[in-house]
Amino acid sequence: MDASTIRRGAGMAARKAFTHAVLAAASLVIGLPFLWMITTALKSPAEVAQFPPIWWPSVLRWDNFSKAWSLAPFGRFYLNSVITASSGVILEVMIGALSAFAFARIKFKYSGFLFMVMLAAMMIPGQVALIPNYVVLKSLKWINTYQGIVVPHVSSVFGAFLMRQYFLTIPASLYDAAEMDGLGHFRTLTRIALPLARPVVGTLVLYLFISKWNSYLWPLIVTNKQNMRTLPVGLAIVRSAEYAIGPEHLMAASLFVLVPVLAVYVAAQKQLIEGIAAGAVKG
């Protein structure tokens, strides 16, 4: 090995170390709030009010979670969030798959025009629709109902677009074979196209579930009874309530909301990140 190779090797090692330093620092900045949330949730009130803060409490106060749970009907909030998020995902995927299949496989004179109309909907900010949607739901008597939380947000543009792209890549011979076997459009969709599109549909389901679970503004507007609140809305209301709630209980309650999302993320992060990257580049 001559001197210049060694120098180059040292330069490369330095560059690598720099890369690690930058990425580790960024991970730390992003990760610390999560850690701070968890350690706070396990502290005693005295430890919370300590500066400089301790990073790991001497005794882990797991009872903070049961105390936080009793501050509001969190069991009910959970039920509401699970019901609205999952029914919303199921409906949106079904509605999107039907549209996607029509645009990919069924001939219709105005198909191109309708496709443009559908995509145009993606540009319209949902905030414009808050008041009209509220008025519509009120006249339907859907305020404080699950359908009121779910139905205004199950039309599918992004999902329909994504699934259509996938349906177009399925070889025509498969569709022809389905037709020969006497399968109509609907059964071709449910028995051939959707099972083949499982990876795309799977990513879409996770993505939609998380975004519906996290949604705040619409459930806030369309519910005003405690027993119809979803988790994020319930959490916000717990904090703004008159009684004083300590940071340790607030962080514990925040973790109620976060844990399911983080669990999905940890289990499927690769799929979710790559799905997002692929979608943005192709879309």
Partner 1 sequence: MTARTRRDSLAFLAFVAPNFILLGVFVFWPILYSLNLSFFKWNMIAARKTFLGLENYKNLFEDPVFWQVTKNTLILAAATVVIKLAISLALALRLDKGVKGSSVYRAIIFSPTFTTSVAVAMVWSWIFEPTFGLLKVFLSPLGIASPHWLLDVNYSLPAVIIVLIWSGIGYDMVIFLAGIKNIPREIFEAARVDGASPWQNFIYITFPLLSPTTFFLTITSFIGALKAFDVVSIMTDGGPLNSSNVIVLYLYQNAFQWFKAGYASAMALILFVIIMAITLIQNRLSRRWVHY
Q: What angle do CA 64, 252, 225 make, to 5 degrees?
A: 105
Mark the segment that binds partner 1 (CB under 8 A) among 60-68, 146-154, 175-183, 191-199. Answer: 146-154
What distance in Å separates the CA atoms of residue 57 and residue 67, rounded to the nearest whole number? 18
Q: Is residue 183 within the footprint of partner 1 (CB under 8 A)?
A: no
The CB-based long-range contact list for 63-69 (8 Å cut-off, 24+ gap) reads 64/248, 64/249, 64/252, 65/41, 65/252, 65/255, 65/256, 67/249, 67/252, 68/249, 68/250, 68/252, 68/253, 68/256, 69/253, 69/256
One residue of 4, 5, 66, 127 binding partner 1 per CB under 8 A: 127
By the rule CB under 8 A, 107 interacts with partner 1 = yes
d(CA 47, CA 66): 18
Instruction: Supply the minimum distance, in Å, between the C-beta of residue 148 and partner 1.
Output: 12
DSSP annotation of 211: H
Asked if 53 touches partner 1 (CB under 8 A), the answer is: yes
Candidate residues 13, 168, 177, 278; the one interacting with partner 1 per rule CB under 8 A: 278
Nearest distance in Å: CB 186, partner 1: 8
64 sits near partner 1 (criterion: CB under 8 A): no
**Which of 16, 198 has the CB closer to partner 1?**
16
C-alpha closest to that of 156 among 208, 78, 108, 198 = 208
| Min dist. Cβ of residue 172 to partner 1 (A) | 15
Q: Is 68 in the site for partner 1 (CB under 8 A)?
A: no
Q: How far apart are CA 76 and CA 83, in angstroms?
A: 11
* Residue 208 Cβ vs partner 1, minimum distance, rounded to whole Å: 12
Q: Which of 40, 80, 84, 223 binds partner 1 (CB under 8 A)?
A: 40
Rule CB under 8 A: is residue 157 a binding residue for partner 1?
Answer: yes
Quick one: CA torsion of 25, 27, 33, 34, rounded to 10 degrees? Answer: -150
- The one segment of 70-78, 141-149, 166-174, 206-214 that binds partner 1 by CB under 8 A: 206-214
CB of 169 to partner 1, least distance (A): 19
102 belongs to the binding site for partner 1 (CB under 8 A): yes
Cα(first)–Cα(last) distance of the chain, in Å? Answer: 49
Under the binding rule (CB under 8 A), the answer on residue 154 touching partner 1 is yes
Position 251 contacts partner 1 (CB under 8 A) = yes
Residue 182 interacts with partner 1 (CB under 8 A): yes or no: no
Which window, 114-122, 142-150, 175-183, 193-201, contacts partner 1 (CB under 8 A)? 114-122
Residue 160 binding partner 1, by CB under 8 A: yes
Q: Does 30 bind partner 1 (CB under 8 A)?
A: yes
Among 175, 210, 223, 229, binds partner 1 (CB under 8 A): 210
Task: Tell me how many residues contact partner 1 (CB under 8 A).
Answer: 97
| Binding to partner 1 in span 215-234, by CB under 8 A | 216-217, 221, 231-233
DSSP structural state of residue 97: H
Radius of gyration of the chain (CA): 25
Task: Using alpha carbons, list the distances in angstroms from residue 255 to 38, 58, 73, 206, 232.
Answer: 8, 20, 15, 19, 11
Chain-centroid distance of CA 10 in Å reads 44
Closest CA to 247 of 75, 68, 19, 111: 68
